[in-house]
Structure 1
């Protein structure tokens, strides 16, 4: 299994709305595209005056990740949906992709 952890450095004062849009709009859309969200939320620690958040997703393989992300990010549902509300709040982001056991992913799932 592949686990992707994405951390977001957000513009000050935007985290609450960013997490709301992620949970209420983006995650259901990801699920509709077959992308499994393990967890998302606000970081417990902020750095350098920036608010931070995270998103964890799991995939069966790197190839599946590439195909599902391409389909999702090019879809009209994303582009005409929560895309602007998400991207407008992000200062920068970082992605880590690693192998993980099914048990490890299940333990992280909320």
Structure 2
């Protein structure tokens, strides 16, 4: 499986406009083209950032699905409206599962926020780091929804750039409310020197919620 973590910087005040359009027009139509839209989110720490995830079986099917969608009637009809909300849409991490467990197997439907934890390293992350994250998460009572690491394959759809030259380990977890998430951030140890957190609130149309 291939997973894209996409972070869009938007024009001030336009996030809800994009979310309304996205949830209405771009979820079922992308899935009809051959990809899985995992979830859409508001960044709780940036009112002008929209974050979403989508997945593909492999890199060749990614190329086929993206070609079908971005040359298809739905995107052609609405791309100007979508692009008018955006300042930058190139902050994209191309990821793959770090373990044999499929990522995002079921939606927890907790109604609360999610946390994406991004670790950045000087070299590729191995199985030992995935095991460390899983063990520490269990120790602190957290069940990761996905453990992902950088996919190094060449971008099969160059019309949509992705970040390169980085070694990233990303994992996701859901929480019942913002207080529980805040408590986790206070207690959970930093596992790498360079770590970034994304506190995410699912949109009304997000499958992961």
> Which category describes the TM-score, using the shorter chain as reference length?
0.7 to 0.9
Q: Report how far residue 88 of structure 1 moved.
A: 0.8
Q: How many residues align?
A: 106
Q: In structure 2, list runs of 5 or more residues that go unmatched.
A: 106-144, 147-206
- TM alignment of 1:13-92, pairs within 5 A: 13-46=13-46, 51-80=48-77, 82-92=78-88
How far does residue 102 in structure 1 lie from its aligned partner after superposition? 5.2
TM-score of the superposed pair, with normalisation by structure 1: 0.86
d(CA) in 2 for partners of 1:75, 1:87: 16
For the aligned residues, what is the CA RMSD? 1.7
**TM-score, structure 2 normalization:** 0.47
Q: What is the CA deviation profile of residues 23-53 of structure 1, one whole-angstrom value per residue up to 9, with x for unaligned ones?
A: 111112112212210001211111xxx6000
Query: Do 2:40 and 2:52's aligned partners in 1 also have CA atoms closer than 8 Å?
Result: yes
Q: Write the distance in 2 (CA, Å) between the matches of 1:96 and 1:79.
A: 25
Higher radius of gyration, 1 or 2: 2
CA contact (8 A) 1:3 1:105 kept: no
Q: Matches of 2:102 and 2:44 in 1, distance apart? A: 24
Hey, what's the Cα distance between the residues in 2 that align with 1:61 and 1:52? Answer: 27
Higher helix share: 1
Q: Which has the higher contact order (CA 8 A, sep 6+)?
A: 1
- CA gap of 1:66–1:102, structure 2 versus 1, over 3 A, is farther
